[in-house]
Amino acid sequence: MILFFSGTGNSRHAAERIAEICGETLLDLTEVFRGELTPALSEEERLIIVCPTYAWRIPHLLSDWLEQAELREGAACWFVMTCGSDIGSAAAYNRQLCEKKGLRYMGTRKVVMPENYITMFTAPEEAEAKRIISRAQPVLRKAGENIAAGESFEEERVGIFSRAMSAWVNKAFYPAAVSDKGYTVTDSCIGCGKCEKLCPLNNIRMENGRPVWQGNCTQCMACICRCPAEAIEYGRKTRGKRRYHLD
């Protein structure tokens, strides 16, 4: 089974392409995190985790859930991580997670996709985004073929810098940057409630036709990048920036 988590669509796209090749079923973890679905995974012999990269590792939201989930001991587990540029030494932490859960670690595959973390970086222009997505297709195809054949992913060598990013920078990133305190809504808001429906943590409530954040954010970018009116800002950091999402 393919378990995927996606804020703006990159990882959903990756999961769907891999599913087409290896024939595995898809499970949207946003529904699980929102409490809308309780999956039975204890009989699954193969797990493919597809997710974005948060500060050079899988999101804490996901790793915390996996640590608590009831999974089949000895199940084969592959990780596919979408990113704007790099995943650091995330593979080492994925391996540790598998060892802790008694899973058979089958490797981690990096897939470069268009940047979406606009509170810190800049999303590419539409033409460049399409080129990046196109370049990702052979990587996704190979990942699907590896999984279909029951083969491990070939691991990439990482250096000291990558290890530092996944360790010390990741540790500092969450208390320093993962917060909803910067989110505001402009007069462009049309009160559609899409942000409330998309939030994986049920962290947004519509009050008087406007979104109000409740203090439990994972910075998935779903609300700000998928707002049809582009009415959500994160302080001054996102003003004038392109929004990105992949439908």
How are beta strands 76-83 and 46-52 bridged, if at all? parallel
Q: Which among 174, 208, 226 is the end of a domain?
A: 174
Res. 247: pLDDT tops 90 = no
Q: Where are the alpha helices (DSSP H) in the chain?
A: 10-22, 29-33, 60-68, 90-101, 126-148, 160-164, 170-177, 194-198, 222-226
70 and 187 part of one domain: no
3-state SS, one letter per residue, for 101-133: HCCEEEEEEEEECCCCCCCCCCCCCHHHHHHHH
C-alpha–C-alpha distance, residues 128 and 111, integer Å? 16
26 and 50 part of one domain: yes
User: What integer pLDDT is reported at residue 155 of this predicted model?
Assistant: 87
Print the domain residue range for 201.
Answer: 179-234
146 and 196 part of one domain: no
Read off the CATH number of the domain in which 138 is found: 3.40.50.360
206 and 223 part of one domain: yes
Is 27 contained in some domain? Answer: yes
108 and 192 part of one domain: no
Res. 66: pLDDT tops 90 = yes
pLDDT digit string, tens, across residues 113-154 = 999 999 999 999 999 999 999 999 999 999 999 999 999 999
pLDDT band at 156 (very low <50, low <70, confident <90, very high): confident
User: What integer pLDDT is reported at residue 153 of this predicted model?
Assistant: 98
Res. 158: pLDDT tops 90 = no
Res. 157: pLDDT tops 90 = no
For 203, phi then psi, to 5°, come to -90, -5
pLDDT digit string, tens, across residues 14-29 = 999 999 999 999 999 9
Is 31 contained in some domain? Answer: yes
7 and 86 part of one domain: yes
Q: How many domains does the chain have?
A: 2
Is 246 contained in some domain? Answer: no
Is 239 contained in some domain? Answer: no
Nearest alpha-carbon partner for 50 in 8, 22, 80: 80
User: What integer pLDDT is reported at residue 215 of this predicted model?
Assistant: 97
Is 220 contained in some domain? Answer: yes
Is 245 contained in some domain? Answer: no
pLDDT digit string, tens, across residues 23-64 = 999 999 999 999 999 999 999 999 999 999 999 999 999 999
Residue 9: strand, helix, or coil: coil
Residue 238: strand, helix, or coil: coil
Q: Which among 174, 199, 218 is the end of a domain?
A: 174
50 and 132 part of one domain: yes
151 and 191 part of one domain: no
The two structure tokens encoding residue 19: 């599913």
pLDDT digit string, tens, across residues 87-102 = 999 999 999 999 999 9
pLDDT digit string, tens, across residues 195-245 = 999 999 999 999 999 999 999 999 999 999 999 999 999 999 999 999 999
pLDDT digit string, tens, across residues 71-88 = 999 999 999 999 999 999
**Mean pLDDT value of segment 66-74:** 97
